[in-house]
Structure 1
Amino acid sequence: MSHATASARRTGVALAAAGAVLFSAKAILAKLQYRFGVDSVQVLTLRMTFSLPLFAALAVREQRRARARDALPTRRDWGLIVVLGVLGYYLSSLLDFWGLEYVPVSLERLILFLNPTIVLLIGLFAFGRRVAAREWIALAVSYAGVVLVMVENLRLEGEHVLLGSALVLGAAVSYALYLALSGELVKRLGSLQLVAWAMIVSTAAVTIHYLIARDPAALFGLPWQVYALAVANAVLCTFLPVTFTMAAVGRLGAGTAAQFSVIGPVSLVFLGAWVLGEKITAIQLIGTAVVLGGVLLLSRPGANSVPVQAPPQKPPA
């Protein structure tokens, strides 16, 4: 391996790891915002509003690149982008932040980490995909681990954990549907263009939701810490993980970069204890290890926090 190749790999590993930790840390920031009396709808609206300029700029750049390679979205593509934006970043985020009002961040990330198992089940029931024996074993192991952690959290936190877990699982299903439906668009448009437009659609959906459900004036006059945390969530835990992960894919390939998503749930176990004072027990650690082991057995790109794109194939010599 040449020095340049080794350097690119080290950079890719650092970007993939940073992307996984930063994307997971959005739950920490949301929990901190809740301490100032805001709710999940306000947290989500502020996050999407502050991230909108960044994704709009990304969309403009990707649109120019798409025009150069004749890969602009068709009318049918735009319709699918709207559906994916609502599923993948509006509904999923809404359920996720709502669930975070009831469950610790370590359990939230663990449930979301089940994405590849849910994608597998969608393929089985919706598309008639055959599931190998090894994959059934991985599914059983993964869900057994989540049940173990959830039972332990029920003992520590109370019955509200059930509601929160159901909401976060709904978020995971919504995002898994996004992954299952986005495959062809990712190949045709590229991951960054799709993510940018889907985030813009999601921001519009979140804004409409907020205007219907809340008084717009309630977003103003909040403690300054709420806005500071929202900006950090938008930049550090939303926009940067997308760009970091895609840069890692370019250096490592989609499969290798996706494996680093395992760092997210592990990091939140300790970040939740350090920043939020959440308890860590041996059973939680064992359950987390079981879930991670089950998901890694599947080794599917869908395990990543953002859609990943296969690296371009070299033309034959």
Structure 2
Amino acid sequence: MTPSHPPISGASSRRLGFLLAAGAAVLFSAKAILAKFQFRYGLDALDVMALRMGLALPLFALLAVRESRRAAAPLQARDRALILVLGVLGYYLSSLLDFWGLQYVPVSLERLILFLNPTFVLLLGVVLFKRRVARREWVALAVSYAGVALVFVESLRLEGDHLALGGALVLGAALAYALYLALSGELIHRVGPLRLVAYAMLVSTAVTAIHYVIARDPAGLLRLSAPVYGLALVNAVLCTFAPVTMTMAAVARIGSGAAAQLSALGPVSLLFLRGWLLGESVSALQVLGTAVVLCGVLLLARPAANSVPLDPIDDPLPGQAGNPPGR
């Protein structure tokens, strides 16, 4: 699996790293809660996404400027082309399908499906890069999907018929983001993680704006109520931009492996937040299924999980377990 980055030494620094990674995991997951609240004001997936990307744009633009000034070399033509593809895949298509799916599924199921990203990256590695998979990885895959199936069946009983459509949309979002991860492995080493995320988010914002202008009147975004703008601002700053910088700061202190393990707090936190904030019911089977999924993904994310040696180019990118920066 992904090798850990060299952590910054010091006990206090490591403690801060653990806190940053845990906080980022919860904040990343909380975007689903905020989207559910925005849906109650009559917004749909495209509205939520346009507000999120538009309000986060200044922050990512400043980040892009800072990282470009720090860069040792300018982008090559092939890097620019790949960033365009990654921006469309990772932060436009994946986000749009995710928010669309959230209109039909509970937040806990959405986060569990997205949490399967490492398994999708692994399978894409088999298909696209002819990667060999160790037996324990297949076991981890089976455990993860069994847990999602358990939660899905129980949620279908509780939520109704639209769950299948919503689950398929979120699954499409997870696959799109897994493809983003699989394609960005080599690029991230040349460009840098924060620089790549900033550029990809700028591309995604531009594509989202084009989509919105084609689909509807953008002036409608200026006639929304104050609570909607407040929720969108929190989503853009606290659940999008802040977790990106928190995750990368955590990786620098504790390594990408430990940061990835702590991303498991995201799905766990939503089990409690959905009942507290949204009033959604949580059954014992859903809790059990969540625990099974977490076990499977964490087994897959262990540094020793892969017993088959990989070439460095085959390794995707830091953060593939759980929620990578920007997700």
TM range (shorter): over 0.9
Of the three residues 5, 10, 29, the one matched with 2:10 is: 5
CA deviations over 1:17-45 (Å, ceiling 9, x no partner) = 00000011000000000000111100000
Amino acid of the residue matched to residue 306 of structure 1?
Answer: P
Unaligned runs of 5+ in 2: 1-8, 303-318
In the TM superposition, structure 1's runs of 4+ consecutive aligned residues that sit over 6 Å from their partners are none
CA distance in 1, matches of 2:74, 2:179: 23
Match of 1:47 in 2: 52
1:80-123 CA-to-partner distances (Å, cap 9, x unmatched) read 00000000000000000000000000000000000000000001
- Give the structure 2 partner of residue 115 of structure 1: 117
Report what 2:210 is aligned to: 208
Deviations 1:228-252 (A, max 9, x none): 1000000000000000000000000
Q: Structure 1-normalised TM-score?
A: 0.94
Q: 2:126 aligns with which of 102, 124, 127?
A: 124
Give the counterpart of 2:19 among 10, 14, 17.
14
CA separation in 2, counterparts of 1:232 and 1:71?
34
Residue type of the alignment partner of 2:227: Q
Contact 1:71 1:188 in 2 (8 A): no
Alignment of 1:188-199 (within 5 A): 188-199=190-201
Following superposition, the deviation at residue 75 of structure 1 comes to 1.0
What is the letter of the counterpart of residue 94 of structure 2? S
> 2:166 maps to what in 1?
164
- Matched with 1:303 is 321
User: Match of 1:278, SS?
Assistant: coil
Partner residue of 1:272 out of 254, 271, 274: 274
SS at match of 1:303: coil
What are the equivalent positions in structure 2 for 1:53-132 lying under 5 Å apart?
Answer: 53-66=58-71, 70-132=72-134
CA distance in 2, matches of 1:71, 1:135: 38
State the Cα deviation string for residues 177-213 of structure 1 (Å, max 9, x = none). Answer: 0110111111111100000000000000100111111
Deviation of the 1:48 alpha carbon: 0.1
* Contact preservation (8 Å) 2:143, 2:296: yes
User: How far does residue 305 in structure 1 lie from its aligned partner after superposition?
Assistant: 1.5
Are residues 1:219 and 2:237 paired?
A: no
Letter paired with 1:118: F
Q: Shift in Å at residue 304 of structure 1?
A: 3.4
- What are the within-5 Å matches in structure 2 for residues 222-237 of structure 1? 222-237=224-239
Distance in 1 (CA, whole Å) between partners of 2:97 and 2:74 is 31
**Which amino acid in 2 is paired with 1:186?**
I
Aligned to 1:142: 144
Q: CA deviation at 1:71?
A: 2.9
In structure 1, what is the Cα distance between the partners aligned to 2:14 and 2:125? 32
Paired letter, 1:299:
A
The counterpart of 1:258, out of the listed 257, 260, 264, is 260
Asked whether the 8 Å contact 1:179–1:307 carries over to 2, the reply is no
For residues 47 and 307 of structure 1, what CA distance do their matches in structure 2 show? 16
1:253 alignment partner, SS class: helix
Q: Which residue of structure 1 lines up, in the alignment, with residue 34 of structure 2?
A: 29
TM-score of the pair, normalised by structure 2: 0.91
Shift of 1:307: 4.7
Judge conservation of contact 1:20–1:305 (CA < 8 Å) in 2. Answer: yes
* Percentage of pairs with the same residue: 69
CA distance in 2, matches of 1:299, 1:306: 13
Partner of residue 314, structure 2:
none
5+ long unaligned stretches in structure 1 = 309-317
Q: What residue in structure 2 maps to residue 311 of structure 1?
A: none
